[in-house]
Amino acid sequence: MSDDNKNEPEPEQESKPVYEVTLDQESLQKGSLIQIPGLGTFENGSTFEVNEDQHATYRAHHQEMVMVLDDNDNPVLDDNGAYTFELQQGPTLLQASKGMNGVEVTTVLNKKQKEGDS
């Protein structure tokens, strides 16, 4: 007897929502398109969820190469006397939103907790 499900791919686990983002650029008309680099293009006046996968892509898009420093803020050198660099992950969407005008980001967990309190 053969197992018909043997060669079927396993179902992918759904990526959970992490943030809810609301766009309200007062200088733009509702429905105008706004691009958030590393995340996508969205309509002004909209609210949407960002899942774990989208958030990881956003952070990867904003990563940067930084020089490694020791505890005294001196550059760390490798065995050849060259400066050492490492890839630093970009900020979370919540951190970055602090500097974005007209972008409100709330964590989905906090929102669900508030809804449960009402």
Q: Give me the chain's average pLDDT, please.
A: 88
Instruction: Answer whether residue 17 shows pLDDT above 60.
Output: yes
Domain-wise residue ranges, the chain: 17-117
Question: Is the whole model's pTM more than 0.85, yes or no?
Answer: no
Tens digit of pLDDT for each residue in 59-79? 999 999 999 999 999 999 999
What confidence category does residue 117 fall into, taking pLDDT thresholds of 50, 70 and 90?
low
**Torsion (CA) 18, 20, 26, 29 in degrees, nearest 10:** 110
Tens digit of pLDDT for each residue in 74-100? 999 999 999 999 999 999 999 999 988
Burial 64-103 (b: 16+ CB within 10 A, else e): eeeeeeeeeeeeeeeeeeeeeeeeeebebbeebbeeeeeb
Count CA atoms within 13 Å of residue 68 on its CB side.
9
